[in-house]
Each structure stands twice: as C-alpha cells, then as structure tokens.
Amino acid sequence: MKRRAPIDTPHNSTVIYPSTLFSLEKDEIFPYERYAYNVLSVGVDALNAQGLCEKLVIDFTQLPTNSSPWTINASVTAHFAADGSPIEFVFAIPELVPAILYMFSAVVGSEFCSDEGFEKIQRNPNSISDQFHSFVSGAGAGVRAYRDRGFGAAVRAAYDHLGLSMTHLRKSSDVYDSLTKQIAYHEVAHAYIHQFTREPRPSQAERVAFELIADLVATEWIYNKMIRNTPDTDEYRAFRQLGSYRETILYNSLLTLRYQELLIMVFAIAGAQTQGGKVTLEGGAYHPPGMHRYMLQHLHLYTLIRSNFSPPLLEHDFDQLDHDWDVRMDALVRSGVIPSSDVESLLQISECDTVELAARLIEELRIPELKKAVPFLNSIRGHLSRAISNEKRE
Ligand SMILES: [Zn+2]
C-alpha cells in the first residue's frame, strides 16, 4: 500500500499521565495512550491550520471544575500571553475516565457494535441493561478502590471485578478508539473554531451553540478518518477480508454509524453521574440536550455518506444502513437506555434557536468543514414544524 509522506510540523506537546499509570499492564495503559494520541493526531495539524499555537497539553491529573476523578467530563482551556495570543491549549480529562470509557467499550460497546453481540441483544432485549449494570458495578468497584488506595489500585480493582484481560483489548480496542476519537475531536474542535480566540467573548447562548459546532466539526473529521480515507487497494480489501471498494465503504459506514450511537449511552451515563443516578439526556446551562447533539451528528454523518458515496453505495446499501440504525435505536429505547421523554423532547421547536445560532456562527467564523451544512441547519425548523403538525393530525 502506498503511504502518504509524513509532514513534519514542529510542535511542543506534553502529556501528563497519572503517576502510577506505568505500574499497570498494557491493557490498563492503552486507554490513556490512545486518548492522548487521538487528541494529538488531529490537534496538532488542525490548530496549525488555523494559525493557532500548537502547544497542546493533555492532562489526566487535572480536574475540570465540578468534576470528580470519575465524572465523564472532558474539557479544554486556553492560556494566553500578555498580548492576548494563545500560548497553549490544555485538554483535561479526569483520571479515571479513560479507564471507565474502556470498560464501557469492553462490556457494553463491543457487544452493541458487533454483529454477533447485537444478535444476542435482539434475542434477549434485557441483555443490554444487564451489560450496563455489570459495567456500572465494575466502575463502582474502581471508585471505591480509588477512595481507599488511589489511582492504580482503582483501575486494577475495576478490571478484576469485570474479569477484563488482554483478550478483551483485542476485541474492544477499535470500539474504544473510535469512541474516544469522538470525544477528543470534539475538544480539539472547540479550540479550532476559535471559541477561545474570537472577540467578543461568546455569550451563554453562543456557548451552547458552540457545542453543536464542535460536534459537527468532530463528525466531519471522524468521517474523513473512518470513511472518506478508505483505501481503494487490493491490499486493504484483503486486510478487511472484503471483496470490493463498495463493500469496504459500506462496512466502514456501518461501523462508524454504530460507534456514533455509543455516544448516546455515554451522554446517558454522564447524565446519571451528575443527576444522582437518574438516567437522563437533558442538557444544562452550557450544553444542548444529549439527544439533540446525537441526532445532529448522526444526520450530518449520514448526509456526508449519502452525498459523497452514492455511488459506489447502492440504494439497497442505504436500506441496510437505515435498518441497522433502526434496530439499534429501538434496542436503546426498549431497554430504557434512552428515556422516552428524551425522544419526545426531540420535537422541541425551541431548540432550533440554538441550531440557527450555530449556523450563523459557522458563517461568521468561516469554518471550512461546515460551509455546506448551513442550509441543512437552517432547514431543521421547517422540517420539525411539518413533523409536529403531521403528528397532531394523526
Ligand atoms: Zn464541548
């Protein structure tokens, strides 16, 4: 396979790992190395392209405000020189979170995303809530050990509780990798879209809109990495054990759409962590509701696949993508992972204010990736009003 020549971009990045991390085993260290890699692999080039400083700090030891070491809450902050130019961006994620996301990937995500695992879920719809409970009890064992004995003991206790081994790493590394790409890219996108460097500073409403924009930029980068860059070579097809370019695009699209559905579960877990255990996809003062965030990303990804890959994808391939999405969403709703109140909240016309504000900011900030998404964002209110009036009529 012909490889692209590497481009040397000078950069100066630091990763601050929890101090006892390297006393752990390979499968326990992997989530940390991969998260840092995912921030850097997209962050260095993206921030350079925007003429922003390329000093990145990835800090697993710094707690974002209002977080505990296990709260799913990644953040990015900018530090400025005296003249107001940014000198570094710090990406913080609480120290147990990569391990927790890995456990989620191994126990819940890899089953949900694989054909065999999902067949089991379809045969027994309760199995997804069982997997969820076992993941939560594993994470709980980790938190208890953290309180008594600190970081290293916490990771070990949680892995032991769940019986995780190297076999799980082989099975779930792709799922974890893609889940954390979505999180890491979103954080990098906050800096990339000049959220910290634009004057005037964003209002509260704009900060909520910036969340949607960061989601959409991240989706675009994920699409590039996972689908658009699919090599059209015999060597790659042999590696994936697939016969044609069309099949590789279909398979990569299928997986990427499944990986994206994992985000809903992660939003739900994060909601439960801050709401005393109540599973919720509600937003907050600075975040749109989780279900809205997910649906916009899903529609954006789906539109990218449809507008760029038909052909080679055929109409029945899109039927397969649609069916695959339907059955998985159905499983999430039936198992209670997505509360039905959150599905109903999808039809809230008031959320369109944030979507349209996002469209205006995309134009103002000239975000190259999202230029084409502006008409779509501005059309949502119309689609929604029609859907609501049809529903009333029925
Ligand atoms: Zn964000």
Mean pLDDT of the 69-91 span: 90
β-strand pairing of 14-16 with 56-59: parallel
Tell me if 58 sits within 8 A of 173, measured CB to CB. Answer: no
- pLDDT above 70: percentage of residues in the chain: 95
Cβ burial 342-351 (10 Å sphere, 16+ → b, else e): beebeeeeeb
Give dist(CA 332, CA 342) in Å, integer. 12
Mean pLDDT of the 67-96 span: 91
**Residue 313 Cα, ligand 1 centroid: separation in angstroms?**
33
**Residue 239 Cα, ligand 1 centroid: separation in angstroms?**
35
Same domain, 156 and 274: no
| pLDDT value, residue 288 | 78
Q: What is the pLDDT of residues 227-276, one digit of tens each?
A: 999 999 999 999 989 989 999 999 999 999 999 999 989 988 888 887 77
**Residue 62 Cα, ligand 1 centroid: separation in angstroms?**
17
**Residue 240 Cα, ligand 1 centroid: separation in angstroms?**
34
Last residue within a domain, chosen from 199, 230, 248:
199
At 81, is the secondary structure helix, strand, or coil? Answer: coil
**Residue 211 Cα, ligand 1 centroid: separation in angstroms?**
5
The answer for residues whose C-beta is within 8 angstroms of residue 251's C-beta and 6 or more apart is: 240, 242
**Residue 362 CB burial class (10 angstroms; 0-12, 13-18, ≥19):** buried
Q: What DSSP string describes 102-152?
A: HHHIIIIIHHHHSHHHHHHHHH-THHHHHHHHHHHHHHHHHHHHHHHH-HH
**Residue 256 Cα, ligand 1 centroid: separation in angstroms?**
20
In the chain, the number of structural domains is 2
Give dist(CA 52, CA 204) in Å, integer. 24
Q: Is 10 left (phi over 0), alpha (psi -120 to 50) or beta?
A: beta
**Residue 195 Cα, ligand 1 centroid: separation in angstroms?**
10
Q: What is the pLDDT of residues 32-61, one digit of tens each?
A: 999 999 999 999 888 888 888 778 999 999
Same domain, 215 and 151: no
Same domain, 357 and 388: yes
Same domain, 193 and 300: no
Same domain, 214 and 264: yes
Whether the pTM exceeds 0.85: the reply is: yes
At 263, is the secondary structure helix, strand, or coil? Answer: helix
Mean pLDDT for all residues in the chain: 90
At 28, is the secondary structure helix, strand, or coil? Answer: helix
Task: Print the domain residue range for 133.
Answer: 1-199
**Residue 116 Cα, ligand 1 centroid: separation in angstroms?**
33
Same domain, 55 and 150: yes
Q: What DSSP string describes 369-390?
A: GGTTHHHHHHHHHHHHHHHHHH
Same domain, 193 and 243: no
Structure tokens at 21: 């991390």
**Residue 210 Cα, ligand 1 centroid: separation in angstroms?**
8
pLDDT interval class at 78 (50, 70, 90): very high
Q: What is the pLDDT of residues 290-333, one digit of tens each?
A: 888 999 999 999 999 999 999 999 999 999 999 999 999 999 88
Same domain, 6 and 153: yes
| pLDDT value, residue 8 | 60
User: In terms of C-beta distances under 8 Å and separation of at least 24 residues, what long-range contacts does 336-339 make, across chains too?
Assistant: 336/129, 336/279, 337/128, 337/129, 337/132, 337/264, 337/265, 337/268, 337/279, 338/264, 338/268, 338/281, 338/291, 339/279, 339/280, 339/281
Q: Which of 322, 327, 319, 295 is nearest to 115 (CA)?
A: 327
Q: Is residue 11 predicted with pLDDT exceeding 70?
A: no
- pLDDT above 90: percentage of residues in the chain: 66
Same domain, 123 and 226: no
Query: In degrees rounded to 5, what are phi and psi of residue 80?
Result: -115, 150
Q: What is the pLDDT of residues 159-200, one digit of tens each?
A: 999 999 999 999 999 999 999 999 999 999 999 999 988 888
Last residue within a domain, chosen from 180, 199, 218:
199
Last residue within a domain, chosen from 169, 199, 229:
199
| pLDDT value, residue 6 | 62
**Residue 24 Cα, ligand 1 centroid: separation in angstroms?**
30
Q: What is the pLDDT of residues 160-170, one digit of tens each?
A: 999 999 999 99
Tell me if 387 sits within 8 A of 347, measured CB to CB. Answer: yes
Give dist(CA 140, CA 16) in Å, integer. 25
CA 176-91-296 angle, 5° bins: 60
Same domain, 189 and 330: no
**Residue 109 Cα, ligand 1 centroid: separation in angstroms?**
22
Same domain, 195 and 259: no
Q: Is residue 394 predicted with pLDDT exceeding 70?
A: no
Consecutive H or E run containing 158: helix 151-162
**Residue 187 Cα, ligand 1 centroid: separation in angstroms?**
6
Tell me if 126 sits within 8 A of 146, measured CB to CB. Answer: no
| pLDDT value, residue 336 | 82
- Cα distance from N-terminal residue to C-terminal residue, the chain: 56
Q: What is the pLDDT of residues 105-153, one digit of tens each?
A: 999 999 999 999 999 999 987 899 899 899 999 999 999 999 999 999 9
Same domain, 4 and 127: yes
Give the number of other CB atoms < 10 A from CB of residue 125.
12
